[in-house]
Structure 1
Amino acid sequence: MRLGTTAVVLGGSAAGLCAAGALSAHFDHVLVLERDVLPADAEHRRGVPQSKHPHFLLNSGRRAIGALFPGFEEALIAAGGLHLMPSMDAAYLDEEGWSARKRGTMTMIYGSRLLIERVLRDKVRELANVTIREGVSVTGLSTRDGEVTGVSFTDDEHVQADLVVDAMGRGSPVSSWLVAAGWPEPEVRTLDAKVTYTSRWYELPEQPPESWWWRHLVIMPTQHRGEHPAEHEFLVNFFPIEGNRAIACMGSWGHEMPRTTETFTGSARRVRTPLFAAAMDRCSPLSEVHLTRSTGNKWRRYDLWATPPRRLVFVGDSICAFNPFYAQGISSAASSALLLREHLSRAEEVGTTFSSKFLVAQRKSLNVPWRLALARDRGYACAEGTEKISEWKRRIVAAVSGPAFSFIVGAAREYEVVDEHFAKVFNLDESLGDMMTNPRVLAAFLRYRVRTALGRHRVPFGFDPQAEPPVTDYSAAAR
């Protein structure tokens, strides 16, 4: 059903492109306004500094984008994306040592943020009624009688709009424009755990060593409280992407991170296993070191306004941004865009209560990744923001969250029901609360606790971090 003549999307990153796909079936013309000049191929650009770091496309986001753009997954793989099963293709080091390989319920498509956005742009350009205007800066919104009526941009151009979507990211100026137009300051909920991460790109060797059965290397931060190098508290990835390349990435909560190639390689040699630095040594560097600090969780609570502006909605970081460590950004934005399409398909018009109803529904969707992000970040003493908890609560979270995570990972090794639901939580298909109250999951936790006390594990774990991760497939033992 057509709901208007023109819809305008502010921003042409992943969130904006997904929004354009959601709008295309319901408006005669969709205009995407993007500040950058978009590259024809998978290249870095100023407006997406995070593109230099690893990006997981979670299954919820993968499905949402596939629903908006049929054939997206196939196109992503055809363009070089890697369809892998992490439990078989990733070497995973947690507190106890290397985990065993076994088949799991989760698969993922690995690729750079550059590739994901390039394939998305190709899909959007297939839509005849969508136009992407590049190299333009949005300068303001026009409003009248409680609703947004149009958008102003470069060189005093102005376009009337039946619906506007803010997809301008963390730094979106839309909230300040609305305040200037008479709306109250929106409540902003924040938690910044001082996450910093640093990455360098590498070309993989033509003939990898025989011991490299793995494609992805994951090193979790230690929970040990004794003396150790700061690098033992880093979250480390050697992340495979298209074109026989990988991104070496180190991140931490509250630590200073290396900024130069010399300090980067030096820190790599002090992480919990020598494999990370050894992998870098066998590869050819393709870039300098890229560092990012803008990583706080931030939710602009437009949904709490009594009368939010009509004909305006928000997707992606412009409304809710997450600590990038948890890989929730693109998937959450895509899910919001799909939710927008569903609401548009049921709407008769977009000028009265549409925006407020969408904000209420979106709140429920955003609450799942928001709570998941805060669950760990609240445990760090360096964390600041409105969602910071009292010191005694923080100490409890810090003491419990690490062991609880290790316990769940251990139970998932041995019980398919835990593996299945933990994968759903990781992929934003289920809330942590729902998993932790599922009777079948709780029964598996109890069985795992008893078997642990009796020393009767079916799947071995805790392999020596100083040695190569074991290649043996323990799927049969798990069954």
Structure 2
Amino acid sequence: MLGRSAVVLGGSVAGLCAAGALARHFDEVVVLERDVLPPDAQHRRGVPQSKHPHFMLNSGRRAINELFPGFEDDLIAGGGMLLNPSLDAAYLNEDGWAARKASAMTMIYTSRVLIERVLRDKVRALPNVTIREDVTVQGLDLDQGSVTGVLLQQGSDLQERIAADLVVDALGRGSSVMSWLAEKGWAEPPVKTLDAKVTYISRWYDLPSEEERPESWWWKHIVIMPTLDPSPDKPDEHSYLSNFFPIDGNRAIACMGSWGLDMPRTVEDFTLSAKRLRTPLFAAAMEQSTPTSEVHLTRSTGNVWRRFDKVNGPAGLVFVGDSICAFNPFYAQGMSSASMSAVLLKQSLEKVPTLDRGFAQRFTKDQVALLKVPWTMAMARDQGYECGEGTETVSRWRQRLSTYAGGKAFQLITSAAREDDVIDEHFAKVFNLDESLGDMFRSPRVLYGLARQVVRSRLGRTTIPYGFDPMQDPPADDYTPKAAS
């Protein structure tokens, strides 16, 4: 063991994963959570984003499974669905519906509340981990440049101190840890920011039973990409990124979001906006399902990276999840980045014989390479919007380049992936944070495949059709090549 006690601030996905990483190396691990945690898969005050869709990327699945063996099986047993998005989703891009075809990418579809419930069950099964609920963390105790404990209060009790050999900040975007350190004279880190003014709205539905669904419902998931049409007369809804997203319990979340636009807040306006999307399928799916919630709206979506690697912080303190790097939630990177950071923490602890004063700083610097991959992907899209604000805004010509990269280039990649297994494999790795965009575009084979796709498209020689009429049902034909007999 590397120490007697470790304390995790926050009991959400990042904090629970951190607890799994610490449990092997400390006699006792204490997770401090402000909320009273529900015993089942239910919403709670501290995770308002649980009311919106959450993608479980492959990298996140592997990371959590490494920390908690059997997690993926338990998630599926609880109602999660392992699907192949390019085969099981109706995908509407700029040109129309895409053709169905199996690909290298798989994904588990489920609700955020089920993910957290399964994780809590896994953490509670660890004999040396305790989750303390309804706790307010009030500060850190420092001695000679090291964090030695956490100050907290529970209910009306007097302030309490818990000794700690290592503290993990997993308090999310609103973490007060930096302000506590600044009050004690520690230098604040430089912060990278980019807020592209993303707002998204969601409403929950019970789906009709399998027997009651229309025959045309081959799909499990509907995705409507925003159009790049610059016409000022187009409806705002044509600029929405929309998902009819399946989750556990034969339910779905209808979600619409945009960059820099006002979004509907009432049920009536939500329904009208769905009818103005580029296809009638989305509104029809809502109409044939049973609503079970009001409209939930989120605007706290800016990208924020607190560069703790640029300053010398106190020993015994590390950061994971949104407390160090928060992403635009549209890109589904948060849970995976947090769990991957927890795996890095586990690996870093396995390499040291003792918990020396430099451990936290070394871990924070090592974490940069991990966070740079999702950060670069988020910037590639969000830097394309004039409404963006923050340190990472770019000139107008670079905005136009980002708009192209986030739109036309993305469309080229996805269409080429349906024709080219090599590009399909690279795209799946990039989407799942297993490879950077830069690494993908440095591959001569990928560049050749993209160029070939452009030529074939212009000559009408692609093998898989695309651009099916969005006003019609998406085609059910499966264009996956049949294995040779």
Residue identity opposite 1:383 in structure 2: G
Give me the TM-score of the superposition, normalised by structure 1.
0.98
Q: 2: CA distance between counterparts of 1:48 and 1:407? A: 36
- How do 1:166-245 and structure 2 match up within 5 A? 166-206=169-209, 207-226=212-231, 227-245=233-251
Question: Hey, what's the Cα distance between the residues in 1 that align with 2:228 and 2:222?
Answer: 19
**How far apart are 1:400 and its partner, in Å?**
4.4
Deviations 1:208-261 (A, max 9, x none): 111000000000000111221000000000000000000000000000011110
Could you say what secondary structure the match of 1:425 adopts?
helix
CA contact (8 A) 2:173 2:323 kept: yes
Alignment of 1:64-463 (within 5 A): 64-154=63-153, 155-206=158-209, 207-226=212-231, 227-305=233-311, 307-463=312-468
Matched-pair contact (CA < 8 Å) for 1:458–1:477: no
Aligned mates of 2:215, 2:417 — CA distance in 1: 28
Deviation (angstroms), 1:350? 2.0
Alpha-carbon distance, 1:472 to partner: 0.2
> For residues 115 and 458 of structure 1, what CA distance do their matches in structure 2 show?
40
Deviations 1:413-444 (A, max 9, x none): 10011111001000000000000111221221
Identity between Structure 1 and Structure 2 (%): 65
Q: 1:415–1:478: 8 Å Cα contact kept in structure 2?
A: no
Query: Compared with structure 1, are the counterparts of its residues 56 and 478 closer, same or farther at alpha carbon in structure 2 (3 Å cutoff)?
Result: farther
Matched-pair contact (CA < 8 Å) for 1:33–1:132: yes
Q: Retained in 2: the 8 A contact 1:196–1:252? A: yes
SS of the equivalent of 1:137 reads strand
Q: Which amino acid aligns with 1:172?
A: S
2:380 touches 2:405 (CA, 8 Å); kept in 1? no
| Residue in structure 1 matched with residue 33 of structure 2 by the alignment | 34
| Cα drift, residue 123 of structure 1 | 0.4
Q: How many angstroms apart in 2 are the aligned matches of 1:359 and 1:313?
A: 7
Report SS of the residue matched to 1:476. coil
Counterpart code for 2:200: Y
Give the Cα separation in 2 of the matches to 1:126 and 1:209. 43
* Separation of aligned partners in 1, 2:283 and 2:134: 40
SS in 1 for 2:115: helix
Task: Please give the secondary structure, in 2, of the residue aligned with 1:64.
Answer: helix
Which structure 1 residue ranges, 5 or more long, are not aligned? none
The secondary structure found in structure 1 opposite 2:151 is strand
TM-score (norm 2): 0.97
Shift of 1:109: 0.6
> How far apart are the structure 2 equivalents of 1:137 and 1:170?
16
Q: Which amino acid aligns with 1:299?
A: W
| Alpha-carbon distance between aligned partners in 2 of 1:287 and 1:230, rounded to the nearest angstrom | 24
| Post-superposition CA distance 1:387-414 (Å, at most 9, x none) | 0112232233224431111111111110
Give the paired residue count.
Answer: 477
8 Å CA contact 2:381, 2:405 repeated in 1: no
**Over 3 Å off, 4+ runs:** none
Q: Is contact 1:296–1:323 with CA below 8 Å preserved after alignment?
A: yes
- 2 CA distance for matches of 1:19 and 1:401? 33
Secondary structure of the equivalent of 2:427? helix
SS of structure 1 residue aligned to 2:4: strand
**TM superposition shift of 1:447:** 1.8
Aligned-residue Cα RMSD (Å) equals: 1.1
More displaced 10-residue stretch of structure 1: 202-211 or 439-448: 439-448
Supply the distance in 1 between the matched residues of 2:405 and 2:28 (Cα, whole angstroms): 52
What amino acid is aligned across from residue 74 of structure 2 in structure 1? A
Q: Paired residue for 1:476, among 460, 470, 481? A: 481
Q: 1:134 to 1:159 in 2, by over 3 A?
A: same
